[in-house]
Structure 1
Amino acid sequence: MLDFLWNNGILRLLYTSVGIQWIGCAAAVFFKTEKFYDLTGSATFILVSHLAYESSLMTRRQSVQGWLVFGWACRLGSFLFLRIMKDGEDKRFDKAKESPAIMFKFWTLQGIWVFITLLPTLLLNSERRNPPIGTRDYIGWGLWTLGFILEVVADAQKSMFKNNPENKGKFISSGLWSVSRHPNYFGEMVLWFGLYISSSSVFSGLQYLSVLSPIFVSFLISKLSGIPLLEAAALKKWGDNPAYKHYIENTPVLIPFIKT
């Protein structure tokens, strides 16, 4: 049993992911800063994905998957890092910075999040079968492209809105934000479902259970660390604003054009 836990290639990637976070956590606790938390997470995505690819057959499918993960991680990591450097803080860490135990929890959870999110890609890279590129691959890559574009455009629109001095103290309700209150998060969910679908073209048996990856991402976004926190903060800030009340009454929370 111990031999399996140590020598299993997939589990070693989990240990690597969590281990990197523990190193980052030690530095973050020492300097009492959260500024490189998201950047470290994105770098871990790149490293763990690359390590899995290095031991793969390096097929066309595996190469495309690797580049898609790399592109997403570079874009999001740099975006979040530049944002926190500009803002000066991440309010999620207001209490955590003063508590090494809470910081340890945050960083450990990030390592587990990276691993679970990457699981379909890791299984794809561990697979020795290489069926021809087919419909499922193109559907998955297409969904990744759609999700990535939605996320990038939504983030860019919000950044431009916030950088305009005339919009100080206002909420964005234009562009993609006119059809969804969280279009960037919707894009994030779509792209990870896309990567699962493309990976599944080589799956068999229990490997299909790695659908846990996009489901886990969607759960985090919609129920835990994403939408609930932002919705509560927005309601606290603009809850008495009639325009904001009209916006939330007429704009879907997540899926564009579809109110739930």
Structure 2
Amino acid sequence: MDDPTGIVKPAMNPYETVFMSGTASGLVLLFGLFALLWLASLAVRDASLVDRFWGAAFVALAWWYAVLGGVPRPLAARVLLGLVTAWGLRLSLYLTWRNWGRGEDYRYAEMRRRHGARFGLISLGTVFLLQAVLAWVIAMPLYAGLALGVPQPGRAGLLWLGLAAWLVGFGFEAVGDAQLARHRAEPSRRGTVLDTGLWRYTRHPNYFGDALAWWGHWLVAASLGAGWTVFAPLLMTFLLMRVSGVTLLERKLVDTRPAYRDYAARTNAFFPGPPRPS
């Protein structure tokens, strides 16, 4: 239909149309899922549920984006979908198993004590919807790769480099978690510092592995033209190193375990490296 004003409007770029509608639908999906999770947390009085769902949220989003992308999908897109699914399901299942019956995490318990009756409503924005937004931003390589991605000439090597990075990162994360769980399960080691295995070379092999796995996701997505989403693994790495990961946990460990100071003096905080002399 002609514009009655007589002004000829340029056609909307189909790429922009799909991009805007696709990312918007992903954010709506996450808001809905995290809102339901918030309601569940009110029922059981445990905001820690949000941590257990973190990995699964990326799985749900990845599969939604894959649906938007349609079929057939290029090899790199199928690899990306598989990697994210394996990473997210392992993380959510592990955190659910580890925290089963342990009550609310100390971070949320402190917030609940500080805010009292208002905590329920406050947690919706500062915990649940905030994590939904963070997950949406971090998952941008998944959208660009799964919903829009097209194999780029000369970039096939990024697929294999990303797969290698993911395998190393996933291994660090899974093995590090397993070693820590085994250490905590032995009564004779309760309260001691784990400084063997991967923990001999980095104080947080699971966080390092988590970050590296996301760099792997990004590299695979970059082979599909999503290199511009490099801000996503950068944000994930920053959060793990400076916000919710290393910095927050170390503050507690230094205060509660005197031996941790000596361990920290000889062991890298994040990136693996040979131990320093005591």
- TM-score, normalised with respect to structure 1: 0.89
| RMSD (CA atoms) | 2.4
Displacement, 1:201?
A: 1.4
Specify the code of the residue in structure 2 equivalent to 1:155. Answer: D
Displacement, 1:197?
A: 1.1
Aligned to 2:210: 188
Aligned to 1:237: 256
Q: Deviations over 1:18-58 (max 9, x none)?
A: 22111211221233123532233333211111011112142
| Mapping of residues 11-26 of structure 1, within 5 Å | 11-26=24-39
- Which of the residues 122, 134, 141 maps onto 2:163? 141
Aligned to 2:120: 100
Counterparts of 2:19 and 2:218, CA distance in 1:
26
Cα gap change, 1:6/1:131 in structure 2, threshold over 3 Å: closer, same or farther?
Answer: closer
Q: Which runs of 5+ in 1 are unaligned?
A: none
Counterparts of 1:68 and 1:146, CA distance in 2:
12
More helix by share: 1
Q: Which runs of 5+ in 2 are unaligned?
A: 1-16
Aligned to 2:227: 208
Displacement, 1:255?
A: 0.5
Using the aligned pairs only, state the percent identity: 24
Aligned to 2:193: 171
Counterparts of 1:131 and 1:155, CA distance in 2:
36
Displacement, 1:184?
A: 0.7
Matched, 1:118 2:139: yes
Matched, 1:89 2:100: no
Counterparts of 1:209 and 1:226, CA distance in 2:
25
Counterparts of 2:19 and 2:217, CA distance in 1:
27
Q: Which structure has the bigger radius of gyration?
A: 2
Specify the code of the residue in structure 2 equivalent to 1:89. Answer: E
Determine if contact 2:173/2:210 at 8 Å carries over to the other structure: yes
Counterparts of 1:225 and 1:155, CA distance in 2:
17
- TM-score, normalised with respect to structure 2: 0.84
Specify the code of the residue in structure 1 equivalent to 2:142. Answer: T
Cα gap change, 1:201/1:51 in structure 2, threshold over 3 Å: closer, same or farther?
Answer: same
Counterparts of 1:89 and 1:33, CA distance in 2:
5
Task: Using the TM superposition, name which of 34-43 and 162-171 deviates more.
Answer: 34-43
Counterparts of 1:247 and 1:95, CA distance in 2:
27
Matched, 1:257 2:273: yes
Counterparts of 2:213 and 2:97, CA distance in 1:
22
Determine if contact 1:46/1:73 at 8 Å carries over to the other structure: yes
